[in-house]
Amino acid sequence: MAKPESGLARLLDQLRPGGLINIGLYSKQARTPIIAAQKYFRDRGYTARQSDMRKAREEIFALDETDPMYKLTGIQDFFSLSEFCDLAFHAREVCYTLPEIADILARAGLRFIGFDLSDPAVRRRYKQRYPEDKTLTNLANWNSFESRYPDTFIEMYTFWSEKA
């Protein structure tokens, strides 16, 4: 969507007080190499044509493993043309920081309930670092955590919120 917050507002119109909503947003920090790749290919005139996407993947594979764009080869979406299109040639990708998400939730009257964390190691590492946050819901802590571990939300932030 061009304006994800407008879409959220429409969804919230349908949500009852106390209702839960699962939200997925891209992380500006985690997607830094993806954003760089998007710009790189856009600047070179690549499009979402299959031939351009294949050439783009070949260029990424040819990079040194220390190049930040090479990280894309570690993302599952890299290996399917349709998913690579969404990854590197997304038409309207909007990325957020956790402080921006906290502001959006506050303006929308939503309470952050927690992340869907597919990797149990992330939960363990967070609990070790922030043992006082028993509910794992302190977004300021998560922002610091993501700064230390920038690939934590490489896929996206997926989280639950409750309407006041």
pLDDT given at position 92: 82
CA 13/CA 31 separation, integer angstroms: 30
pLDDT digit string (tens) for the chain, length 164 residues? 778 888 999 999 999 999 999 999 999 999 998 999 999 999 999 999 999 999 999 999 999 999 989 989 998 999 999 999 999 998 788 999 999 999 999 999 999 999 999 899 999 999 999 999 999 999 999 999 999 999 999 889 999 999 99
**Which residues contact residue 164 at a Cβ distance below 8 angstroms, ignoring those fewer than 6 apart?**
17, 109, 110, 111
pLDDT given at position 96: 96
CA 154/CA 11 separation, integer angstroms: 25
pLDDT given at position 79: 94
Is the pTM of the predicted complex or chain greater than 0.75? yes
pLDDT given at position 90: 86
Write out pLDDT tens, residues 85-133: 999 998 788 999 999 999 999 999 999 999 999 899 999 999 999 999 9
Q: Is the dihedral of CA 13, 18, 23, 27 positive or negative?
A: positive
pLDDT given at position 126: 98
Query: Among candidates 49, 116, 118, which has minimal Cα distance to 88?
Result: 49
- Percentage of the chain exceeding pLDDT 90: 85
pLDDT given at position 119: 92
